[in-house]
Structure 1
Amino acid sequence: MVARLALKHRVADEVTCFDRNLERARMFLDFEDSHDIPVEEADAINSEMLSSKLSGYDFVVNTLPTFVRINEREKLLNPIVMQASLKAGVPYMDLACYGGRRRTAEQLALSAAFRREHNLAIINAGASPGLTNLLAREAYEDLDKVFSIKVMSLEDQKGPSFLISWSREEMLNVATPVLVYRNRRYAFIEPFSESIECNFPAPEGSVRCYPVSNDESYTIPVYLRTQDFDYYAGGSDIEILRALYRLGVLEEKTLIVRGKRVSLRSLLYQILKEPSSPRSYLSAIEEGELEDAFFAVGVVAIGEISGEKGLSSRSVFFPSQRRVNNLLPGATYITYPTALVVIALLQSLKGRNLHGVFPLEALPGVVRRNILETLEEHKIFVNREFKVEEK
């Protein structure tokens, strides 16, 4: 979707896709606007080979899952691709971090190396994380002092079927321990262990949301001075994962199968289907299996302004799946806005002399504003609210 939008909106003169499965990659480009996009074979685990293939390009966008399973072990992909970009001297961008038991995103460990090489890396640069981080910074700057920041996400499908819109790796990661930042301290809590009502723009309104593993927690407390940070998600997609978690299907435990010890999560990884094909969302709508699907994000910052309590919020309701089917056939209600944020970033970074590793909340104000203006040109509008209450 990033490749197709980059050509459609003339962000790039040439685009090449790299994948280790050429047939599957071409399936995702089997649309009239992208037949001519070349696909080359490459394996992200081979940093040396990848580096030689990246040489000469103006930007590399890493849209891989954050890890790959090799013999029951998880191998992180972001650092490998970042190292390849560094060696090739090409600016880098990715859409998510692995996080895990760390307190900060793994990509930040390469900040000094990117500065030293006068190179740029933009990390966690999709819709959530990504746009949510930028909106958190915008709300944060409305206040003199910030006590808490809350990020909310809604992923909701309407209809009898459930279609996987992300990779299996990232979907299962949602049900892992959740990093929170409370009273200026990091802690891990159980996923789905709490619930709150979150307000989203119409037509969704109030939705029951839960703490789930997220990427925002691994950068926002690093760059924005706050006492508390939490992330909550809701909607049918999250409710399905919550049900599986409560049934014990997503637990980190092992079973004995034919005399061998096998992790339950690994079994589920093998059982789950690959992410739905590009045309599956088109046919699901046409055949009535999917009525529609929705994606929205929100940010609320609470603090002080001029000695009084202040609340600043931002929210975005992205185009529904039915609308996306017309805007970019083959994209989903999540991949379309994610790719669109990448395109807005690429446009906004042209001519900027930035070195180092940046999540979106750490970008200069002029770049952040330009990103929002570019998204508005694509009919992605930010709802803003600001309240001051007397103490």
Structure 2
Amino acid sequence: MRVLLIGLGLVGVNICRILASSSRVSELICCDKSLSKINSIKSSLLKLNLYNDFLSNIEFKELNASRIHEIEKLAKRADIVINAALPIFNIKIMKACLNVGVNYLDLASNDYAKAEQLSLHEDFIREGLTAIINSGFSPGLTNLMAKWCSEVLTEIEVLKIRLIEDQIPYWRIWSWSPYLTIEHFASPPIVYENGRFKIEEPLGGVEEYVFPTPIGKKRTYLIYGDEIATIPNYIKVRKLDLKSGGSEIEFIKGLYNLGLFKNNEIKIGKKRIAPLRMLYELSKKFNGYNPMDYIHHLDDMVIAVSLEAIGVKGGEKSMVRIHALPPSLSELLSKNVMSTPTAFSAAAVSSMLIESFHEIVKNKGVYPLEALEISLVEKILSNLSSHYNIKVVYEPIKIIKDVSR
């Protein structure tokens, strides 16, 4: 398979490293607008003895993802384009794929509360092409786990998605670009309930949730997630929400409580400014930020995702839970993988989809991961455990007794 990878950020560089040693990838073209970033990745591959071993299969190119003709020129040489650039380029890159007849995969949506990529579903069907969207960690792995829950229970009433990212001993570094982090937490969460989407207060709905060992009980809050916008289209559910916790969110919660996420202007001396705008302006000094430059401040970083579904199985009210525990930061570093756990996991999911694309491509159109066949979902989850040490834990079904009887 010939692959064009656009975007060599935190996730893209991990995808590059993984696919560089994939037997299914015959040619890999890695692109970014930053020449310095390209040279840095070349250097890291040399240190891992990957670039020399696969030199004939890897090519690096400068590319401006806002220029559709540049994308088309390189996409003609590929069987699939992986969009690991910012989601604002989703539609432009998808249209380039349609123009030259190439399949597509991306990591997240751009539009609030909807997957704009689905608007091109009929176009991809008409061209006989396949696009798999929102294929990272969250969304991505969360969608695969939601699909599994929907197959275990006959009906789902409530589906809870719970995430955790903890820095040890406490929050010290931004896990992603500060600008994108602020933008994410400034987006009001959406909850799906009784056939309708509701907008909730950011970082509200506090809940103590028990994650698997070694993480345990953690405080979680409502946050925005792309998966909430797509899952109800493919899985029948009465209520669906996403909450997350951990050291970075507790820090963000503190900023939120201070009023720094408000858009209303306040008077400072003789000037008026919105606190949120001030945060955005301050974050611009972190352009080009890479958390791996600051990991020496941490002892470790751990993440996990848990899904809990309550519904009906065999005529009885039941509950099922599934968990994913990716390698910690210290485990990754011990294997010379210079990545945060979240970026590594997102790359592992998208890379595993590339490995399985010969099965996915049978279905033409645009699809999120919860639309995949359960047999393929189970295979991907199994391979994430065996290939990337992302431990997937399946809890047995529990019957919920009705105490009112």
Q: TM-score, normalised by structure 1?
A: 0.89
Could you tell me how far apart the structure 2 residues matched to 1:174 and 1:330 are? Answer: 26
1:53 maps to: 74
Alignment of 1:1-391 (within 5 A): 1-31=14-44, 32-33=47-48, 35=51, 37-66=58-87, 76-100=88-112, 102=113, 104-159=114-169, 162-172=172-182, 173-254=184-265, 264-272=275-283, 273-274=286-287, 276-277=289-290, 279-280=292-293, 284-285=295-296, 289-351=297-359, 352-378=361-387, 379-385=389-395, 386-391=397-402
Output the aligned Cα RMSD: 2.3
Tell me, in whole angstroms, the C-alpha distance in 2 between the residues paired with 1:210 and 1:204. 17
Say whether the 8 Å CA contact 2:171–2:251 is kept in structure 1: no
More helix by share: 2
In structure 1, the residue matched to 2:8 is: none
**CA contact under 8 A between 1:214 and 1:231: conserved in structure 2?**
yes
| Pair 1:160–1:197, CA change in 2 (3 A) | closer
CA contact (8 A) 1:278 1:330 kept: no
1:106 maps to amino acid: E
Q: CA deviation at 1:132?
A: 0.7
Amino acid at match of 1:113: D
SS in 1 for 2:28: coil
Change (3 A) 1:322 1:29: farther
The answer (yes or no) to whether the contact 2:189–2:199 under 8 Å persists in 1 is yes
Q: Is the 8 A contact 2:263 2:277 kept in 1?
A: no
SS at match of 1:15: strand
Between the aligned partners of 1:180 and 1:40, the Cα distance in structure 2 is 41
Count of aligned pairs: 375
In 1, the alpha carbon distance for the partners of 2:246 and 2:173 equals 14
For 2:97 and 2:177, the matched residues in 1 are separated by: 23
Residue-by-residue CA offset, 1:211-261 (whole Å, 9 max, x unaligned): 011111111111110110000000012112211222222233457899998
Instruction: Specify every segment of 5 or more residues in structure 2 that has no aligned partner in the other structure, as ranges.
Output: 1-13
Q: Match of 1:341, as an amino acid?
A: V
Q: Give the structure 1 partner of residue 5 of structure 2.
A: none
Is 299-308 or 251-260 further displaced after alignment?
251-260
Inter-partner Cα distance in structure 2 for 1:312 and 1:160: 32
Structure 1 residues without counterparts, runs of 5 or longer: 67-75
- Percent identity for Structure 1 against Structure 2: 32
Q: Kindly provide the amino acid, as one letter, of the partner of residue 184 in structure 1.
A: G
Aligned in 2, Cα 1:374/1:90: closer, same or farther, shift over 3 Å? same
